Amino acid sequence: MRTVIGDFVMRHLKKWIATSFVFVFVFIQAKEVSPEWKHSLNSMSTKERQILHTFFKTMILNSQGGYVLFGSKPSCMEGIIVPEACKTRWIGKGNHRRSVDLWEGYQVWEKYFEQIGSQKLIITCKSQPNNLYSDWIHLNWINPRKLLEVVDENIVLFQYVLGPELTAKRLLDYLTDPLKNSLEDYSLVGVILGFGVRNTLYYRRLELIVESLHSREQAPFKDKYERLKIAEPFGGSYTGFDLHPALETTPSFNNNSLSDEYQLLDKLGSGSKENPHQQLNPTPTFAIYNDDKYTRKILSDYARDQLKIRELLSQDNFLEQTLKIIFE
């Protein structure tokens, strides 16, 4: 009898131990697989959640961060006004509000999420104002996979400007280092923003012409509008261009004047844009000079991601869903 009872107890004890072990194992496993980002999200205060929510909304709804996150754009940049440069007359203006939202949001991101690696998104903020725009620091959203792909595709151009030792990985490390300055070559910037190398280089030429008009006179040469044969476009209003360094651009091959070249470039190009005021999240705007396979791919990727962004923006748990996409 004792043996029968003993066997019964032992059998049930073994079952109980086995079942408990499975439960404990599952519990431990569950704890281990619980994502770190979720843990960080749960440890945030309500105010910090609000700040991060606003940060993501600003970048995804009112900037191009969503296209970076979903992979159709390698990177996007936003400027944050440095406090020393924020004049009282700017306080309360749209740019100021945006800067505060982005700066506060970045600090929360840095505190809770920066150390958690993501294959889809690196968010970085330069620690010093930009070399060219001393009133601003740059906040960058970078999709590492897409950036490496785009730089690799155009590595010769990048090496031509930055030196033969450059690799896509080295450039990524440079761009994500807060202590390093932003790239100063706008042609390369156009490529890493994902507009395609041909579109970027053609448009850059147009930009150079405009920049030379929006700068100081180059003494002792006569009035630039007269010399470059371009009509003064500002109706004689003061625009502060005398405060910018003198820049000189001469007409390129086969053009008699900058005016001719400007008109040619203007005619050759077309805008990719949707009306930004009519769309909830318009696709990024850029100039198209080559309606080739590459450009069509950019446009179709934007259209695909636009739908994903709309879906994300409609989520009640927008913040959690965004973090899930970033980290999973």
Partner 1 sequence: MNIIFSLILATFSFANLHSEIEKNSPACLIAHQIKISLDHHDKKQIDALIKGIEAQENSLKLTAEEKGVSGLVIEKQRELQAQNNLKASEVWLKEKSNDEIQVTVPKKLLYLTIKEGDGKKLNNHYGNVKINYVIKKFNHEFPEASAEKKTCDLSQMIPGFIYGMASMQEGEIRKMYIHPSLAYGYSNTFEPNIALEVTVELLNILSLQGEIPPLKEINPLPELEATQKQVDELLLKNSYVIGWELWNHLKFGRVF
Query: Residues in the site for partner 1, rule: CB under 8 A?
Result: 83-84, 86-94, 96-97, 215-224, 227, 234, 236-239, 241-242, 246
**With respect to partner 1, which residue has the nearer C-beta, 165 or 223?**
223
**Cis status of the peptide bond prior to 129, with omega within 30 of 0:** no
DSSP 284: P
**Least Å distance between CB 66 and partner 1?**
22
Distance CA 245, CA 248 (A): 10
**Least Å distance between CB 123 and partner 1?**
24
Look at strands 270-271 and 136-142 and give their pairing.
unpaired
**With respect to partner 1, which residue has the nearer C-beta, 147 or 213?**
213
What are the residue ranges of helices labelled H in 81-193?
94-112, 144-153, 155-162, 168-175, 186-192
**Least Å distance between CB 119 and partner 1?**
36
**With respect to partner 1, which residue has the nearer C-beta, 3 or 238?**
238
Query: Collapsing DSSP states into helix, strand and coil, what is residue 28?
Result: helix
**Least Å distance between CB 201 and partner 1?**
27
**With respect to partner 1, which residue has the nearer C-beta, 83 or 117?**
83
State which H helix or E strand residue 102 sits in: helix 94-112
Contact 68, 142 (CB under 8 A): yes
**Least Å distance between CB 126 and partner 1?**
22
Phi-psi domain of 79 (left: phi exceeds 0; alpha: psi -120 through 50; beta: other):
beta
**With respect to partner 1, which residue has the nearer C-beta, 15 or 93?**
93
